[in-house]
């Protein structure tokens, strides 16, 4: 097991670099503007380098993005917590680096899930909005010591009959009037002469709708924003409002946009590569139109597994192979014992085990002792009666992502390949220390750190390979 972890660490630390790819990161030259700003971020003052990631539960859960944020801020300095959905948009929301509080009296709206059934108010980048008609309704944010802020931004809807928002941080109190002749998005930016730990927002007067908020520290460094909706697909991003997204992008001014959808698309009951490609191209074009010339990194769908038989054929022309998993194997014949395939030495990887299984061999952990009594069960890797497999839709989605990213000049990171390839999720769940949860989709804290480390290692390799760009 130590050998497998050492191999993973070595792979993450020293990705192979070719003319177009660094490890799993391809077409990285398009990230030149981001790399230039990042190279100057350490020790500089002013606006931090801002990474904005939008996606599904992998993003909003913050296991991966949180680890990535902490690693970048440890290296370059903290630029604040970045953009977040307002208040506490769903049960279990637990952002890293800050704590949030929301009083009763708010109605939540989202682009997907329960809040999408009867939506109230427009939605923007976060995919959520909260609305209150009650005076005195409150949301509040408290930052950790590393995420204190000198700039706070609140985005809401100005409209006829709307009320006001009272924004308090330390002794400074600001008022955001939202009454207007026409409905339009508005973002208010407040600057502070010293770092703040907490801010509260309280309603006054008529109804108000808040679409997002953000905290930044203007002392250089990096801010990494993670916004997304659990269970959502990229097509649901189309349900937010163009004018809100445009105003938020102008106010939050990202230096890199990361698009991290694909898992839920790959697990859909039916996946049409043609329809997905239309969605992908349409939403990327829309983001480019609204964001301007901000470089984009598209993250491919990861390795993820299921036992649901109805997903065996959820995409055309793709046939999934089952994954081997740790199992108790039948006992060997005490008289004639077939020679097992030995497990790889610690310097080899789990892929060698799976390759052997692909040839139909049983893989035992150690050679069995000489049989002198009743045969005993063995432990090893085998295909179970109800096997795990990657839904074919995941491969269909990933193939489209890779093609579209190259054609539209986006950087593309092959998450599945950098995990170790198909069926790697088995070892990430079954072998200690576990890096994925038992659903074979989501990650533990350690797994989030591992994925973030592999992504940043590839970005580092690409940045080093292109160092001549800014010298």
Report CA dihedral (260, 225, 13, 405) to the nearest 10 degrees.
30
Give the per-residue pLDDT at 330: 74
Distance separating alpha carbons of residues 422 and 442, to the nearest angstrom:
16
**The predicted structure's pLDDT at residue 353:** 32
- Structural domain includes residue 371: yes
C-beta of residue 428 within 8 angstroms of C-beta of residue 436: yes
- Please check whether residue 440 lies inside any domain of the structure: no
Is 356 domain-assigned?
Answer: yes
Range of the domain at 365: 325-382
* pLDDT tens-digit profile, the chain (471 residues): 333 444 344 445 568 888 689 999 999 999 999 999 999 887 678 899 999 999 999 999 999 999 999 999 999 999 999 999 999 999 889 999 999 999 999 999 999 998 888 777 799 999 999 999 999 999 999 999 999 999 999 999 999 999 999 999 999 999 999 999 999 999 999 999 999 999 999 999 989 999 999 999 999 999 999 999 999 999 999 999 999 999 999 999 999 999 999 999 999 999 999 999 999 999 999 999 999 999 999 999 999 999 999 999 999 988 899 999 998 777 766 544 444 434 333 333 333 333 333 333 333 334 444 445 566 677 788 898 899 999 999 999 999 999 999 999 999 999 999 999 999 999 999 999 999 999 999 999 999 999 999 999 999 999 999 876 544
The Cα–Cα gap between 322 and 305 comes to 10
- Strand segments (E) across 285-345: 296-299, 325-329, 341-342
Residue 377: inside a domain: yes
Residue 69: predicted pLDDT: 98
Phi and psi at 301, nearest 5°, equal: -65, 140
Strand 138-143 relative to strand 198-204, pairing: antiparallel
391, part of any domain = no
Q: For residue 340, what is the DSSP state?
A: P
Question: Which candidate, 471, 400, 446, 464, places its Cα nearest to that of 16?
Answer: 464
Q: CA–CA separation, 383 vs 389, rounded Å?
A: 10
Residue 267: exposed, middle, or buried by beta-carbon count in 10 A (0-12, 13-18, 19+)?
buried
pLDDT of residue 334: 59
What is the DSSP-derived secondary structure letter of residue 32?
H
In 3-state terms, what secondary structure has residue 181? coil
Determine contact, residues 58/92, Cβ cutoff 8 Å: no
Residue 332: inside a domain: yes
Q: Residue 432 corresponds to which tokens in the numbers above? A: 């200690």
Would you state the structure tokens that stand for residue 293, as one six-digit string?
């010339």
CB-based burial label for 466 (10 Å; 0-12, 13-18, 19+): middle
Question: Does residue 285 sit in helix, strand or coil?
Answer: helix
- For residue 344, the model assigns a pLDDT of 37
**Cα 406–Cα 410–Cα 415 angle in degrees, nearest 5:** 85
Q: What is the pLDDT of residue 223?
A: 98
Please indicate, yes or no, whether the overall pTM of this predicted structure exceeds 0.85.
yes
- How are beta strands 296-299 and 411-413 bridged, if at all? parallel
- Report the pLDDT value the prediction gives residue 175, as an integer from 0 to 100: 97
* Cβ contacts of 333 within 8 Å, gap of 6 or more: 371, 375
Within a domain: residue 360?
Answer: yes
pLDDT for residue 374: 61
pLDDT at 284: 98
Residue 333 domain-assigned (yes or no): yes
Beta bridge partner(s), residue 191: 151
Handedness of CA 225, 228, 230, 233 (dihedral sign): negative
What is the model's pLDDT at position 355?
Answer: 39
Total number of domains in the chain: 1
- What's the CA gap between 85 and 220, in Å, rounded? 24
Whether 215 and 143 have beta carbons less than 8 Å apart is answered as yes
| Paired tokens of 147 | 């995420």
The phi and psi torsions of 168 (rounded to 5 degrees) equal: -125, 130
Tell me how far apart the alpha carbons of residues 140 and 279 are, in angstroms, rounded to a whole number. 36
DSSP one-letter code for 50: E
């Amino acid at each position: 097991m130590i050998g497998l972890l050492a191999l993973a660490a070595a792979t993450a630390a020293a990705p192979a670099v070719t003319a177009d790819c660094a490890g799993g990161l391809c077409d990285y030259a398009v990230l030149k503007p981001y790399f230039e700003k990042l190279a100057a971020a350490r020790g500089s003052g002013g606006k931090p380098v801002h990474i904005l990631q939008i996606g599904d539960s992998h993003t909003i859960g913050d296991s991966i993005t949180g680890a990535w944020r902490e690693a970048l801020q440890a290296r370059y300095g903290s630029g604040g917590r970045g953009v977040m959905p307002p208040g506490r948009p769903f049960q279990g929301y637990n952002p890293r680096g800050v704590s949030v509080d929301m009083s009763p009296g708010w109605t939540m709206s989202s682009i997907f899930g329960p809040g999408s059934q009867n939506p109230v108010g427009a939605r923007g980048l976060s995919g959520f909005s909260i609305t209150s008609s009650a005076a005195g309704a409150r949301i509040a944010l408290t930052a950790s010591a590393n995420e204190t802020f000198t700039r706070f931004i609140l985005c809401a809807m100005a409209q006829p009959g709307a009320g006001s928002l009272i924004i308090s941080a330390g002794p400074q109190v600001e008022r955001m009037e939202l009454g207007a002749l026409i409905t339009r998005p508005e973002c208010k930016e407040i600057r502070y002469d010293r770092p703040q730990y907490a801010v509260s927002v309280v309603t006054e007067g008529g109804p108000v709708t808040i679409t997002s908020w953000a905290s930044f520290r203007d002392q250089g460094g990096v801010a990494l924003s993670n916004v997304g909706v659990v269970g959502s697909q990229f097509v649901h991003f189309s349900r937010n409002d163009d004018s809100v997204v445009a105003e938020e992008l102008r106010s939050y001014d990202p230096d890199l946009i990361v698009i991290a959808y694909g898992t839920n698309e790959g697990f859909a009951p039916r996946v049409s590569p043609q329809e997905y490609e239309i969605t992908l191209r349409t939403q990327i074009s829309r983001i480019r139109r609204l964001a301007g010339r901000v470089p984009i990194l598209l993250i491919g769908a990861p390795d993820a597994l299921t036992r649901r038989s109805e997903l065996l054929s959820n995409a055309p022309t793709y046939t999934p192979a089952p994954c081997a998993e740790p199992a108790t194997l039948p006992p060997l014949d005490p008289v004639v014992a077939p020679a097992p395939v030995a497990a790889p030495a610690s310097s080899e990887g789990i892929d060698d085990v799976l390759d052997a299984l692909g040839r139909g061999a049983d893989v035992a952990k150690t050679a069995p002792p000489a049989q002198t009594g009743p045969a005993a069960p063995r432990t090893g890797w085998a295909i179970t009666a109800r096997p795990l497999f990657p839904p074919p839709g995941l491969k269909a989605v990933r193939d489209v992502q890779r093609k579209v990213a190259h054609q539209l000049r986006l950087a593309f990171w092959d998450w599945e390949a950098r995990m170790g390839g198909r069926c790697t999720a088995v070892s990430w769940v079954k072998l200690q220390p576990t890096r994925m949860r038992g659903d074979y989709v989501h990650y533990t804290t350690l797994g989030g750190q591992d994925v973030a480390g592999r992504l940043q290692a590839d970005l580092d390799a690409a940045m080093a390979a292109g160092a001549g760009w800014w010298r």
